[in-house]
Amino acid sequence: MDNNNKVILINPAASGVFNLDADAKVVGDDIKHHIRNNQINLLLREAIEKNKPLESEVIIDDRVLLVSTSPIRPKNSDLDNSGGIVFIQDITKVRKLEQLRTEFVSNVTHELKTPITSIRGFIETLKNGSINNPVVATRFLEIIDIEAERLHELINDILLLSEIETKMKDTNLESFDLKIMVDDVFKVMENIAKEKSISLINEVKDEIFMKANINRMKQLVMNLVDNGIKYNRQNGTVLVDGHREEGKVVISVKDTGIGIPQAHIPRIFERFYRVDRGRSRGMGGTGLGLSIVKHIVNLYNGDIKVNSIVGEGTEFIIKIPHQE
């Protein structure tokens, strides 16, 4: 724009940012007639008047824009400047990623601090004399062991999530029988299931082979089965189904548990998100299980759907493109 606020040039990208009509006569017109944002107009005016470049973040329609303004300095002229230029960069995604990183660090700090504080407290009590009481000492050491295991699981899950996030595609792919793999997962989970009299049912169709990292797929199914056990009712069931559908391998994990309120479903794959924080903490877990599941599904260009009815149960349906 020139010294009189008249637009000299505007590119299509800038027109799109400000939702300008393609047929509107912008060039030659006053910029304030088309860009009705006081912050941008004042920033540009200040840059011209003070003859120096300025920069500011502006929020328009839930988008974060980095607006950089700079005066135009002619080479052969008595004028300090003859107008100004505006550069606009949409940094919405950058700011969202920064917010996610900040929240993640904050959550990790909190999750690590809780067991560490507990461990330090019990150690201090033992050092102050409780270690001489065998009954109390044994109970405190058992609690310290539980909290240490919780720390171990949390750190492992953080490392696993970090590893998956940095991958563009998975490695160590092999063809395996899905039904046999689910049986292997059930062998690991059967003791936990027995504590609540939960029945684990494998209804994967015969000879459903998929090519993937088998350990990654075991992690995916194990996390979902683990959730199905934790949030289930006494004498409930966790059923895993698998079949082919339109060139994809479909894996379903369905439980007869407490269910998830619809308002929470869009957020359950977020790191450390818990529908009921009090109940979740009492049942253990790191709060990263479903986030790991989502990242594994994304790694294989698949998709995941959740069906849930409060008081009846939850079903996770995963579809992963078949690889030859």
Please check whether residues 101 and 193 belong to one and the same domain: no
Give yes or no for residue 19 having a pLDDT over 80: no
Residues β-bridged to residue 89 = 66
Specify if 208 maps to a domain. yes
First to last CA, the chain: 57
Specify if 42 maps to a domain. yes
Please check whether residues 157 and 212 belong to one and the same domain: no
Mean pLDDT for 48-54 is 82
Please check whether residues 85 and 193 belong to one and the same domain: no
pLDDT band at 278 (very low <50, low <70, confident <90, very high): low
pTM here is 0.64
Is the alpha carbon torsion for 15, 19, 24, 26 positive or negative? negative
The answer to whether the beta carbons of residues 159 and 193 sit under 8 Å apart is no
Round the average pLDDT of the chain to a whole number and report it: 86
Please check whether residues 190 and 319 belong to one and the same domain: yes
Mean pLDDT for 80-87 is 75
Closest CA to 300 of 258, 249, 257, 259: 249
pLDDT band at 280 (very low <50, low <70, confident <90, very high): low
> Which range of residues forms the domain containing residue 321?
170-324
Give yes or no for residue 186 having a pLDDT over 80: yes
Q: CATH number of the domain that 270 lies in?
A: 3.30.565.10
For 157, the enclosing helix (H) or strand (E) is: helix 134-165
- The HSE-up count of residue 136 (CA atoms within 13 Å, CB side) is 11
Backbone angles phi, psi at 37, to 5 degrees: -130, 110
pLDDT band at 47 (very low <50, low <70, confident <90, very high): confident
Closest CA to 205 of 233, 228, 182: 182
173: Cβ–Cβ under 8 A, 6 or more apart, which residues? 211, 212, 213, 323
Please check whether residues 196 and 314 belong to one and the same domain: yes
Please check whether residues 36 and 133 belong to one and the same domain: no
Q: CATH number of the domain that 105 lies in?
A: 1.10.287.130
Specify if 1 maps to a domain. no
84: Cβ–Cβ under 8 A, 6 or more apart, which residues? 1, 44, 47, 48, 69, 70, 71, 72
pLDDT digits (tens, 9 = 90+) for 132-146: 999 999 999 998 998
* Percent of the chain clearing pLDDT 90 (strictly above): 40
Last residue of a domain, one of 105, 139, 166: 166
Please check whether residues 46 and 194 belong to one and the same domain: no
The answer to whether the beta carbons of residues 68 and 39 sit under 8 Å apart is no
Please check whether residues 194 and 312 belong to one and the same domain: yes
Q: CATH number of the domain that 71 lies in?
A: 3.30.450.20
Please check whether residues 199 and 275 belong to one and the same domain: yes
